[in-house]
Amino acid sequence: MHSILFTLILLLCSALLSCEEGSFLEEKPLKVHFLDVGQGLSVLFEYEGRFALWDTGPDSIGFVDTLKHYGVDSLDWVVLSHWHRDHVGGFLEFPSAIKNHELIVKKVFFTNDTAYGFVSDSVFSILDEFGLNNDTIYRGDSLFFASGWLFQILWPPKGVNLGGNASSGVLFIRDSLSKMLLMSDLETPQEDALLSLSPSLKTDLLQVGHHGSLNSNSMRFLSQILPSEAIISVGEGNSYHHPASGTLSKLYLIVGDSSYVHRTDLEGSLIWLWNKNIGFWIQ
């Protein structure tokens, strides 16, 4: 009798397990690609055959070809974090791809970066030429991309005039369990201001601010947000000597092991697979 009962319990358990395993496998992960764009930043989001972009890397690297490589023919949105060319240059390659019907751009967002110049003028003329839907984003705004994940803008706040790195958009992505924080090129005075607005901010993965510059990533900031993993988007042998050795030392101390500090100059493009409410890991 006991053995029959035991067998029944075993059968029930294995049925439950296979059912859970099935639903786990059916649920598509959110893919977060930190693209190797040399000295610059571009993060491609992919979910159920749809794509969105945070920054487009520098110009003259064949950015549209990189997008084609990942099967991108349409972007739900593109955010340009600030007007520096290492974050926006790739966007200047979009016109020929849009004209040739190789790329659809549904919406473009940018921050209120007051440091206008050639790059911002070029972007605005592309928006005009193709009639692209566009808007300015501020702290408090959310972007929709994948059901179950929040994409929240934490910086810059409305009503302040900031230019260049100080105006960098900051994106906080989370589900019920895990968090990613993209700092773009935000520097230490604004890290402090961000913490005063979001005093309990924490993250699991950190896109390290300003390519690992010493002007960003203060110990005060890093020890508050306590990332367990970090990614530095940086060009091999760049003339700025990014990432700074001081920043690396701080990051090693905070994450506890240098193998949790990733770099696009050493590892190329990196993809995190994020299973909703389960966690994320490098593909």
Q: Is 55 in the site for Zn ion (CB under 5 A)?
A: no
CB 199 within 8 A of CB 226: no
Query: For residues 140 and 163, which CB has a smaller minimum distance to Zn ion in the complex?
Result: 163
Query: For residues 178 and 184, which CB has a smaller minimum distance to Zn ion in the complex?
Result: 184
Q: Is 59 in the site for Zn ion (CB under 5 A)?
A: no
Which 159-178 positions form the footprint of Zn ion (CB under 5 A)? 165
Query: Shortest Cβ distance from residue 41 to Zn ion (Å)?
Result: 6
Query: Shortest Cβ distance from residue 268 to Zn ion (Å)?
Result: 18
Query: For residues 76 and 185, which CB has a smaller minimum distance to Zn ion in the complex?
Result: 185
Query: For residues 95 and 164, which CB has a smaller minimum distance to Zn ion in the complex?
Result: 164
Q: Is 265 in the site for Zn ion (CB under 5 A)?
A: no
Give the C-alpha separation, 142 to 150, whole Å.
7
Query: For residues 29 and 57, which CB has a smaller minimum distance to Zn ion in the complex?
Result: 57
Query: Shortest Cβ distance from residue 53 to Zn ion (Å)?
Result: 15
- Residue range at the interface with Zn ion (CB under 5 A); choices 20-28, 61-69, 158-166, 213-221: 158-166
Query: For residues 59 and 185, which CB has a smaller minimum distance to Zn ion in the complex?
Result: 185
Q: Is 85 in the site for Zn ion (CB under 5 A)?
A: no
Q: Is 242 in the site for Zn ion (CB under 5 A)?
A: no
Answer for which of 86, 175, 187, 191 binds Zn ion (CB under 5 A) is 86
Give the C-alpha separation, 96 to 152, whole Å.
31
Give the C-alpha separation, 187 to 152, whole Å.
19
Q: Is 84 in the site for Zn ion (CB under 5 A)?
A: yes
Answer for which of 36, 59, 93, 185 binds Zn ion (CB under 5 A) is 185
Q: Is 229 in the site for Zn ion (CB under 5 A)?
A: no
CB 265 within 8 A of CB 239: no
- Give the interface size with Zn ion as a residue count (CB under 5 A): 4
Site mask, Zn ion, residues 90-119, x = CB under 5 A?
Answer: ------------------------------
Query: Shortest Cβ distance from residue 55 to Zn ion (Å)?
Result: 8
The 3-state secondary structure of the chain reads: CHHHHHHHHHHHHHHHHHHHHHHHHHCCCEEEEECCCCCCCCEEEEECCEEEEECCCCCCCCHHHHHHHCCCCEECCEEECCCCHHHHHHHHHHHHHHHCCCCEECCEEECCECCCCHHHHHHHHHHHHHCCCEEECCCCCEECCCCCCEEEEEECCCCCCECHHHHCCEEEEECCCCEEEECCCCCHHHHHHHHHHCCCCCCCEEECHHHHCCCCCCHHHHHHHCCCEEEECCCCCCCCCCCCHHHHHHHHHHHCCHHHEEEHHHHCCEEEEEECCCEEEEC
Query: For residues 165 and 218, which CB has a smaller minimum distance to Zn ion in the complex?
Result: 165
- Chain contacts with Zn ion (rule: CB under 5 A): 84, 86, 165, 185
